[in-house]
Structure formats: structure tokens, C-alpha cells
Chain A
Amino acid sequence: MLTQLTLRERHLDQGARFAPFAGWEMPLQYEGIVAEHRAVRERVGVFDVSHLARAWVEGPEAADLLRSATTFDVTSLREGKAHYSLYCNEAGGIEDDVFIYHLSAERWLVIHNAANADADFERLRAVAGDAASERTAETVMLAVQGPDAVGLLASVLGEGFAALEPRDCAELNWQGALLLVARTGYTGEDGGECIVPADRAESLWDALIGGGATPAGLGARDSLRLEAALPLHGNDIDATTNPYEAGLGFAVSLDDGAPFTGREALVAAKAQPRSRRLAHLAARSRGVPRTGYEVRKPGGEDAIAMLTSGGHSPSLKIGIGMAYLPADLARTGTMLEVDVRGRALPVEVVRRPFYRKPKG
């Protein structure tokens, strides 16, 4: 039984084609993946990301409780700021990646991936007890992304949003409803995310669409995040990969000495040279390297890795992908091959991200 979105009718009005995703019936695309992708890169798109689980941690102990739940030292996060963090297991493997928002002195929000929502909430409960509550169904979450996103959000939401800097978050009053807004996202573009009470979600959606936002689905969300080299949990990072080999060391705080699950393993992992690294591969010929395809040395027979993600980059018009490669093959400029259904597609190890938004 799939959970249906509060805004399902609005999505149908926009021509959505739905697909099941992590127990939710989600818009896969509307007009088309590439058109939606371009709209986000060139103008502004709106994604319904209500499948992301929203857990609050509240009370005077919230910061300290939350510190021991994930890898990042959230006590260093001042009010009104958000940061990326990880739940790890004892071996230092990544159980999920999350975004943590410091809303006010005693109020924090943690965004969990839909596929891991139940396990994540148990982890949070284990450290925070009754201070943690998951209230996903009460709200709708919309991501507004693209070069025109901040302007659109400022015009719809007003001064409260216009004042925010990147990674800022705030609670603001919008037409009598309490909205949670943040300058965050998952596309490599500027923009924001809004959490709105379910009974006001249609008004906000209509205002965003009326203001020129193109509705965008999970298809475009995936191609956008892949171009931005943002990892997807379950694909590029999972319980068997550690943050350092995934290039996510910035999400791990060890210096404060605070305990969290996986700390010992991560101290050891950080001290060791990486045996493998998540590398970024750009196709140097025509073809689409897809998730799960094998990576080989040029002319080689044996697989050295599998693509954890792969696809066509609409912005760069080339195939791109990611794979964990032995450290000596993960250096920028290394030429390798991807087996595209029996055909060797030459690929080059490149720096991340694949796509960076133009400055200015």
C-alpha cells in the first residue's frame, strides 16, 4: 500500500506520471525529465519531497541528545543554521545521510530519507527518547530550486525568506500558517525548501506554480543530484561504505570527543590511507553508463568496480557516473572503461561536481 501525497490532485493537474518510491507514490515526471532538469538549471523548479521523513527533537537537552545520534557536531551549529550529517553503524558504515536544522534554542529538525525513515527514527529515539517526534504526515515539504528560486520564494514568502543566507533556516509566518524554510536543496542549485502545514500546502503550491515554477519529479531530481555529485543513500553510500572513502569527511566531527555510534571505527578509518575512493567518471564517447554497469581498466576483462549511480547528464550532454575505485585508479585523469551492454565506453576520472552552476 503506497502512501499518497497530500498534493496528489495538484500533481495530476500538472500531468504527473507517478512511480512507487520507498513506499510512496511519487511524481516521476510531468512534462519530461530533461525539460524539468533544464527548468531547474535555467529558471526554477518545484519538487514535492514530502516523502522525506521529518523528525523534531525538542527541549533543553535537544542539542546534546542530537549530538550523539549522528556524526556531525551539531552543538557547533548556531541557531538558524542547517548542516549535513550521517548516521553510522559501529563499523563506521553509513546507515543514512540526513540534514539537521537548528530552528531555535530548543528546537531541531532532522530530515531522513524515506527508505530509512523507520530505522532512523528508532536511532533518534534511542538517544533522544521522548524528546524526538516524527510528524511527517502533518506537513508537506516542497523544494524550490534553480537560479530564480530565491527570488520566487522571497516574493511568495516575503522578508522572512529574503533575509536568509545559504544553509540558513527559519520558522516564519505565512498567511497565518507557521512555515519552516531553509536555503537548502539537492540539485546543486541555489534555492530553498519549505515545510508547510498540510492544510495550507495547496495554497503554497499554487503560489509557486503561479509564480513560474516548473513542477519537477524524481527523474529530474536524480539527474540533477548526480550532476552535482551529491550521493544517494542506497546507491553511492550505504552501510558498507565509510564517510571518508565517500568524500563526506566534512560531515564527521571527531575533535569534540563526543561519543556517537561508529566513532571508534571512524577514528581508525581517518588515520589510514584510503584503499578505495568514490570516483566521478565522465564518458569520453557517446553512450549512457547506467547504475550497476561494470567499470574496467582499458581493454581489461575483469570488473574493478560497479557504477553506484550513472546516467545521462542533460546539462553536459555526456554520460556520467560514480564508482568506488582502488585509490591508485581514482586519480583525476585516469582513463577507464564502462561495459555498456558489451560495448566498451571510455570514461575519465574527473573532479566533482560534474556540473557547477555559473558564478554571478
Chain B
Amino acid sequence: MDYETPEDLLYTEDHEWLRREADAADEVTIGITDFAQEQVGDVVYLELPADGAALTAGEPFGEIESAKTVAELFAPVSGELVASNAELEERPELVNESPYGDGWIVRVRVSDAAELDKLMDAEAYRAQLPED
């Protein structure tokens, strides 16, 4: 199966993506990858912290509930949650339909930009996706 992996994003081993935002140099938008949404299945609910919450890289910050399972969301970087995608409250299926677009999950103000350097680019992420 071919999964979308846009070139302009950063990726984590937990199958999350980050986009550096042009309008605010220290902010990133975070979502789950096409592969992740396919694995987790129909998303029905997301449990996310309130705006202003502090995220710590590598620590869980939320949960994603699908029809068949629940998965934790791990913070790819440390920082402050600036916004979560309010549209997902009514339409959680956007995570499946548009994982890199309307299905974005949170926006975070990064506290240590050096953490971004540890993330994968699209090529590296593609290389560690399962073959199947």
C-alpha cells in the first residue's frame, strides 16, 4: 500500500508529522500520518489538552479513539499548546480523510528548536515504514 508522505513535513517514529508554520517561526502544526490513520482506523473521538497546556517531548499528551481501538498521541517536541483543531470535535473523521490537511490535530509553540533537528524528513520516514 502506498501512503502519502509530503516532502515538506517532519516525521516521528510514532507516525506523527510536524509542519513549520510560515506565519510564526517557533510554531508547528502536528497531526498523524496517512499510515497512522490507516492503522488506527475510523477516528471517532480525540481527547486533547486545553490551550496553554505544556507538552513534553516523548510524553503522551492526548488520545485518539477509533472504532476499534485507542491510541496515545505523543508529543514530538516540547512546548505550549497554542490551539487544537476544533473542527475535529464535530468531524473526527477528518483525521482519516485529510490527515495532512483539515485533519491536523494541534498547533504547538516549540520551546527548544533543537528538538526539531532530531525528527525525520520524508525520505527517512518512508524508509522505516513497513514494506507490506
Contact = CB atoms under 8 A, between A and B. Distances in A.
Contact of A288 (B41, B44, B96): B44
B67 interface: yes
Nearest to B63: A341
Contacts of B44: 34, 288, 312, 314, 317
B93 to A, nearest CB: 7
Nearest to A288: B65
A314 B67 contact: yes
Given A219-B68, A314-B67, A341-B63, A32 B45 contact: no
A312 B47 contact: no
A288 B89 CA distance: 14
B22 to A, nearest CB: 33
Interface string B91-103: 0010010000000
A314 B65 CA distance: 13
A28 B41 CA distance: 11
A67 interface: no
Given A34-B93, A287-B45, A312 B63 contact: no
A33 B68 contact: yes
B120 interface: no
B70 interface: yes
Contact of B67 (A286, A311, A341, A343): A311
Contacts of B68: 28-29, 33, 219
Given A33-B67, A219-B67, A286 B45 contact: yes
| Chain A CB within 10 A, most for which of B42, B45, B63 | B42
A223 interface: yes
Contacts of A311: 67
A29 B68 CA distance: 10
A225 interface: no
Nearest to B38: A32
B70 A290 contact: yes
A287 B44 CA distance: 9
A29 B96 CA distance: 15
A100 to B, nearest CB: 32
Interface string B38-74: 0001101101000000000000000101011010000
26 contacts: A28-B68, A29-B68, A32-B41, A32-B67, A33-B67, A34-B42, A34-B44, A34-B67, A35-B42, A219-B41, A219-B67, A223-B67, A286-B45, A286-B47, A286-B89, A288-B44, A288-B65, A288-B70, A290-B70, A311-B67, A312-B45, A314-B42, A314-B44, A314-B67, A317-B44, A341-B70
Q: Which 4 A-B pairs have the closest CB atoms?
A: A34-B42, A33-B67, A312-B44, A288-B65
Given A28-B68, A317-B44, 16 more contacts: A29-B68, A32-B42, A33-B41, A33-B42, A33-B67, A34-B67, A34-B93, A37-B67, A219-B67, A219-B68, A288-B44, A312-B67, A314-B44, A341-B63, A341-B70, A343-B47
